[in-house]
Structure 1
Amino acid sequence: MNKLLLTLILSFFFTASYCQDTITYLSDAIKENLNTYKKASNSAYEKRNIEEGKNLFDSLVKKKLIGTKFDDFNLKVYKEKNVKTNRINKPIFIITYASWLVIPKGEIPALNILAKEHRDDMQFIVIFWDKKSDLKNIAYKFSDAIKVCYANENYEKDAHIVASIKHTLGFPTSIFIDENKNVVNIKHFDSKVKLRTPIKEAIITSYNYFSKDINENLVNAVSKNKGFTIN
């Protein structure tokens, strides 16, 4: 009886160890595929083949990054306590910006509306690649339903997230993560709002764009967790 019990325990231990070893984290997947991607991407952009460059990024995401485990980053939240991504027990929608980047008209109000609508079922996070002092003129524009975070090369503890996300995926970029912290999608997004678009129209356009993206990601997350994929 004791011998059988020992066998079962050892079997469970090795199975658990194997499962842990097979987890691929986003940062590792990026590191493993970055050189090949950058070489092809730089060649495409040198030839001014913008469409090819976009296709290469989308291919990297689809074939290598979707399905990886999002790293348990420790995020510094503006005027709040730091938060670790693994402690957020619901899907996460991340958008990365920089304070010097001109955010298109209507984009922030649209995100504020969506964050309030999804307050109970999703966490919105905005990460600025800046120091805390750089956010004083923009952080207040976001709803309290959105965690406004910052990370910068000048902060020693930010080296991992800056190297893994900012220097590889670029920005503005959106990242959708399911409740189990699996990467569902990563996307470069371009504003469809023209400079002279009236503010109400700009908000509606941005709202529709992000709402469609979020809903598609939610459907894909549920589908993958149930064991089938929707193309």
Structure 2
Amino acid sequence: MKKIILLVLTITIFYSCKNSKKEESETKIQKKSFAQSKKFIKQYIEDSQKYWDKNDNENALKYDDSIKQTILNSFIKDYKFKSINKDIYNTAKRKKPLFLQVTASWCAACKFEVTALNKIVEKYSNQIDFVLLFWDTQSDLEKLAPDYNKDIVLVPSQEKHPDPHTIDISGFRHIMGYPTNYLITTDNEIINFSSGAKIPSTFTDKEGKEIIITKEQANKENYERLESEIQELIEKNSSNKV
């Protein structure tokens, strides 16, 4: 009799915890939806621009943190992205965490980062889904496709948005720069967000010292940053399942 009671209690506690976790997840989605963050991001960008216009870089850059905090821990809805091959990538049916990048053919940093990205995909495609959303349409993307690892899902825009920094693909709307990475768990939570990539360049720092970033150095830093993001996504996705 005692064994039966213990078994019943164990089952009850298990389902109670499971339901509690489900309710907690549903509450998070209701409280912080990525789709609802667009109006806040738009306002932050407009406010930031006012400082850029005054050459007040310090205050302008503060809005980057506000934008990031708005996006972090928000949840995406289900999207159906049509790839360059006409296949449908359904975020609701995926089994792996998602590395979602927003990019454009004319973006110099995006183009240079492809080498590092391809190596990352080759290493982690069995653990992560890689999807790239392009500002470019089908015809333009077909010319670029051979440059990318075959395990990357390449998604063109149905039409080019008049604003070069905006895309809207199957309801996923992005209004910031390129490349931008969204790290998304299998629970649809955005656990990190980043923008930009290194490119070979020469510039003068605040002290007047000339800084040279070589092609090799830029590739190395891009690879290390991307790998750090992927490892974070794998780790956090695993911890969310515990």
Give the TM-score normalised by the residue count of structure 2. 0.71
Query: Residue type matched to 1:24 in 2?
Result: K
Matches within 5 A, 1:80-99: 80-99=86-105
Structure 1 pair 69–197 and aligned structure 2 pair: CA distance change class (3 A): same
Contact 1:93 1:124 in 2 (8 A): yes
The separation in 2 between residues aligned to 1:35 and 1:202, in whole angstroms, is 31
Q: How far has the Cα of 1:28 moved from its partner?
A: 1.1
The separation in 1 between residues aligned to 2:87 and 2:171, in whole angstroms, is 23
Residue 143 of structure 2: aligned partner: 137
The separation in 2 between residues aligned to 1:201 and 1:38, in whole angstroms, is 31
Residue 226 of structure 2: aligned partner: 210
CA deviations over 1:67-111 (Å, ceiling 9, x no partner): 111122221211240212222221111121112222467521211
CA deviations over 1:130-171 (Å, ceiling 9, x no partner): 11001122111101111111124459xxx85487533x2332
Is 1:41–2:40 an aligned residue pair? no
Paired residue for 1:184, among 168, 172, 191? Answer: 191
Q: Say which one has the larger Rg.
A: 2
Contact 2:183 2:229 in 1 (8 A): no
Q: How far has the Cα of 1:124 moved from its partner?
A: 1.1
Gaps of at least 5 residues in structure 1 are 1-11
Residue 8 of structure 2: aligned partner: none
The separation in 2 between residues aligned to 1:205 and 1:104, in whole angstroms, is 14
CA deviations over 1:16-40 (Å, ceiling 9, x no partner): 7x94782532111223x23531332
Query: Residue type matched to 2:49 in 1?
Result: N
The separation in 2 between residues aligned to 1:130 and 1:143, in whole angstroms, is 18
Give the TM-score normalised by the residue count of structure 1. 0.74
Contact 2:83 2:156 in 1 (8 A): yes
Contact 1:115 1:145 in 2 (8 A): yes
Query: Residue type matched to 1:101 in 2?
Result: C
Matches within 5 A, 1:57-72: 57-62=64-69, 64-72=70-78
The separation in 1 between residues aligned to 2:111 and 2:79, in whole angstroms, is 30
Comparing both chains, which one has the higher relative contact order based on Cα–Cα distances under 8 Å and sequence gaps of 6 or more? 1
Matches within 5 A, 1:156-175: 160-161=168-169, 165-166=173-174, 168-175=175-182
Question: What is the aligned length?
Answer: 207
- Give the strand-richer structure, 1 or 2: 2
CA deviations over 1:47-76 (Å, ceiling 9, x no partner): 2233433331222222x2211111222212
Taking every aligned residue pair, what percent have the same amino acid on both sides? 21
Query: Residue type matched to 1:27 in 2?
Result: A
Query: Residue type matched to 2:198 in 1?
Result: S
Structure 1 pair 217–49 and aligned structure 2 pair: CA distance change class (3 A): farther
